[in-house]
Amino acid sequence: MNRAIALHEASHAVVAMAAGLPVEWVSIVADRDEGTFFTAAVKIPDDQIDRARDLFEICVAMAAPSFLETGDEEIDRYAAVEASLAYTMAGKAGIPPADVYAAAKRWVLFREHEIITLAERLTEEGKVVFSKAA
């Protein structure tokens, strides 16, 4: 299951960075950050984004894991739920959900090798910290 979780979180992280969002770290190890407990997460610093301006990119990164099967039915089902939420958020903000879908699919296709490489690092290290938010 760690590999499946690593693929899922790596998809979020790689697509977020490719879309221009700053990613501080990605982790598959249970921990606490800024008072929030998580079991796996991607840290995008709130003070470095503008949710209104960056909503399209946020939704794309949120939907990304749904385009990479992990081999774990539960993780893949969770990815589909996240993607559905991303499409709903986009639609409510006037962003065509089909645009989010297409962009997420394209980024995962173009960056699949990077996603897999990061997932392998996560499986070995548990957490990858990026030297500077990309």
**50 in a structural domain:** yes
**59 in a structural domain:** yes
Range of the domain at 118: 2-128
**134 in a structural domain:** no
> pLDDT at position 13, please?
97
Whole-number Å distance between alpha carbons of 134 and 17: 6
**133 in a structural domain:** no
> pLDDT at position 39, please?
76
pTM above 0.85, yes or no: yes
- Residue 129 is classified by DSSP as E
Mean pLDDT score of the chain, rounded to an integer?
A: 92
Number of domains in the chain: 1
* Range 19-24 average pLDDT: 95
pLDDT in tens, 70-105: 999 999 999 999 999 999 999 999 999 999 999 999
pLDDT in tens, 27-73: 998 777 766 666 788 999 989 999 999 999 999 999 999 999 999 99
| Cα angle: 11, vertex 19, 44; to 5 degrees | 70
Nearest partner of 103 among 53, 69, 62, 71, judged by Cα: 62
Nearest partner of 62 among 81, 47, 40, 36, judged by Cα: 81
Residues in the chain: 134
Q: What is the CATH classification number for the domain harbouring 56? A: 1.20.58.760
Q: Which residues contact 114 (CB under 8 A, 6 or more apart)?
A: 14
